[in-house]
Amino acid sequence: MAITRGFTGRRARDPRLPPGQYDARDEWPVLHIESTPSLDTARWTFGIEGLVERPVSWSWDEIHALPRSRYAGDIHCVTTWSKFGMTFDGVSVDTLLDAAGPLPAATHAEILTHSGYTTNLPLADLTGGKAWVVWDADGKPLTREHGGPARLLVPHLYFWKSAKWVSGLRLLDHDEPGFWERNGYHDRGDPWSEQRYQGD
Amino acid sequence: MSAPTHRKTLRWQIARVLSVRDETPSARTFRLALPDPRPHLAGQHYVVRLTAPDGYTASRAYSIASAPSGDPEIELTVERLPDGEVSEFLHDVVEIGDELEVRGPIGGGFFAWPGDTPALLVGGGSGVVPLMAMLRHARSIGRPDLVRLVVSARTEADLYYAAELPGPETTVVLTRSGRGRLTAADLAPLVRGGEDVFVCGSPAFCDTVTDLLAAVGVPVASIRTERFGPSA
Ligand SMILES: Cc1cc2nc3c(=O)[nH]c(=O)nc-3n(C[C@H](O)[C@H](O)[C@H](O)COP(=O)(O)OP(=O)(O)OC[C@H]3O[C@@H](n4cnc5c(N)ncnc54)[C@H](O)[C@@H]3O)c2cc1C
């Protein structure tokens, strides 16, 4: 670690802030790289494919008919902002995976989106109440720049894993780096250990 | 079929500040010498990490302003944001001879111009930085005909790279002192069809420009945007 001459760091550290993060307070920065797609909920789908007993696909109405699940807590973006005390409503990924029946060989998931962006996750980071497909943020429908109509939410990891405009999961028996991971970002992205880039 | 897997491991390195110069009253360009230079593409960025004696760190992304040249040096242009932790430090404290920890180049493929295809570049504020790298690259390889750059700035004084910018490839739109905001009529004559379009600036600027481009018939799939800073 190289100390930077003259830098003391001005932000008082809040224990909820992982290292290197700042509190974005009322801002919710938008930092995705694609153009913002406009998706019609009438044609929106979410599917699970790959190493599953039954590939499943839900329409907008069908996914809303599943048991609801809420996340209330903090989110952290690799571009260094964090937001405290958000609430997101949607459905738990556990509920979705139960319907598809992951095969024992499945260890990882490739996250697919309607925009072509992809990201990868170990299955263990998507199960056990750690991940959601959400459509409301703080009680209001997700706006399209925040991934509306629905995005993945994996709040214990950096937010690039919480793919906007999510369209499905493909279960794999190996890790398959997604868009940012092929471009130097970390495969897992734990904010508390600052896993920002490959090699962290 | 699976996508080709290649992972780049980027190490932090300690760059030395070779020069600092004012671009506008609120933007400054830093020239850095890299001990471990790596080739970059126009459009890629570096991350600058500041570390306090107690271990607290702050890191931010800054686009490379200089063209790929094979030099072990890069330039970054940083806008000073009021109360911005890193940008204020870079403006107010950093001087020639200082050492800065950096990692890059980052941002392969997507927001990078390889230098051999027609490109329309539209930038606002500090969003012009990666686009300037593309223009510089096109000029240095003798292919300025490949790029068209539109820059939106508030006033003449806010224009980055003012001395170097003018040319047949560039259009400047001044929003305060000139005739107002960028319109579809500014962009329509610059669209050739088949080009890649790179849009960079604040989230609001990127969305406005994307809508204008779509209105003049540019396929949305050919538009790549890079958004800087908090949402408007
Ligand atoms: C790929 C990429 C490339 C980029 N390239 C460039 C570039 O070439 N040039 C450039 O100038 N920028 C660039 N940026 C933006 C840059 O990374 C930083 O976001 C910018 O410099 C601001 O950082 P900062 O530390 O100065 O401000 P921050 O401290 O992060 O603050 C950002 C804003 O939020 C406000 N703020 C911060 N903390 C708080 C708080 N606690 N309460 C209230 N308000 C707060 C500040 O007032 C400030 O206006 C790029 C960003 C990306 C993602």
pLDDT for B3? 37
* CA dihedral angle for residue A93, residue A97, residue A99, residue A102, rounded to 10 degrees: 180
Q: Which residue of B has its CA nearest to A82?
A: B230
* B175 pLDDT above the threshold of 60: yes
Whether the CB-CB separation of B80 and B87 falls below 8 Å is answered with yes
pLDDT for B1? 31
Residues 159-178 of A with CB under 8 A from B: 176-177
CA B100 to chain A, closest CA, distance in angstroms equals: 7
State whether B7 and A80 contact (CB < 8 Å).
no
Would an 8 Å CB–CB cutoff place B56 in contact with chain A?
yes
pLDDT for A28? 86
Tens digit of each residue's pLDDT (9 = 90 or more) over B102-125: 999 987 667 899 999 999 999 999
**Lowest-confidence segment of A11-15, B58-62, B210-214 by average pLDDT:** A11-15
State whether A24 and B230 contact (CB < 8 Å).
yes
Atom of ligand 1 at shortest distance to CA of A81? Answer: 30
pLDDT for B9? 65
Sequence ranges of the domains in chain B: 7-106, 119-227
Of the pLDDT bands very low, low, confident and very high (cuts 50, 70, 90), residue B8 is: low
Mean pLDDT, range B71-100, rounded to an integer: 94
Residues in contact with A15: Cβ distance below 8 Å, sequence separation at least 6, in sequence order: none
B119-227 sits in which CATH class?
Answer: alpha beta
State whether A181 and B203 contact (CB < 8 Å).
no
Task: Report, at the CATH architecture level, how domain B7-106 is classified.
Answer: Beta Barrel (2.40)
Question: What number of residues does chain A have?
Answer: 200
pLDDT for A128? 94
Q: Is B119 in the pocket of ligand 1 (CB under 6 A)?
A: no
Tens digit of each residue's pLDDT (9 = 90 or more) over B12-57: 999 999 999 999 999 999 999 999 999 999 999 999 999 998 888 8
On chain B, the residues whose CB falls within 8 A of the CB of A22 are 58, 85
The dihedrals phi and psi of A134, each to the nearest 5 degrees, come to -120, 150
Q: pTM of the prediction?
A: 0.68
Give the whole-angstrom CA distance, residue A178 versus residue A117: 8
Atom of ligand 1 at shortest distance to CA of B130? Answer: 8
Instruction: Provide the token pair at B11.
Output: 């190490």
Q: Is B145 buried (19+), middle (13-18) or exposed (0-12) by CB count in 10 A? A: exposed
* B100 pLDDT above the threshold of 60: yes
Q: Is B33 in the pocket of ligand 1 (CB under 6 A)?
A: no
Q: How many angstroms from the chain centroid is the CA of residue B221?
A: 21
Would an 8 Å CB–CB cutoff place A179 in contact with chain B?
yes
* B2 pLDDT above the threshold of 50: no
pLDDT for B4? 39
Residue (of B153, B148, B160) closest to B202 by Cα position:
B153
* B220 pLDDT above the threshold of 90: no
* CA dihedral angle for residue B83, residue B61, residue A3, residue A82, rounded to 10 degrees: 60
Nearest CA residue ID for atom 6, ligand 1: B62
Along the 200 residues of chain A, how does pLDDT read in single tens digits? Answer: 689 999 988 656 678 888 778 888 888 887 655 567 888 899 999 999 999 999 999 999 999 999 999 999 999 998 888 999 999 999 999 999 999 999 999 999 999 999 888 999 999 999 999 999 999 999 999 998 899 999 999 999 999 999 999 999 999 999 999 988 888 889 899 998 889 888 78
pLDDT for B179? 74
Specify the long-range contacts of residues A54-61, CB closer than 8 Å, at least 24 apart. A54/A99, A54/A100, A54/A101, A55/A100, A56/A96, A56/A99, A56/A100, A57/A168, A58/A96, A60/A149
- What value of ipTM does the predicted structure carry? 0.81
DSSP chain B: -PPP--------EEEEEEEEEEEETTEEEEEEE-SS-----BT-EEEEEEE-TTS-EEEEEEEB-SPP-S-SEEEEEEE--TT-HHHHHHHHT--TT-EEEEEEEE--GGG-B-SSS-EEEEEEGGGHHHHHHHHHHHHHTT-GGGEEEEEEESSGGG-TTTTT--STTEEEEESSSSS-S--HHHHGGG--SS-EEEEEE-HHHHHHHHHHHHHTT--GGGEEEEE-SS--
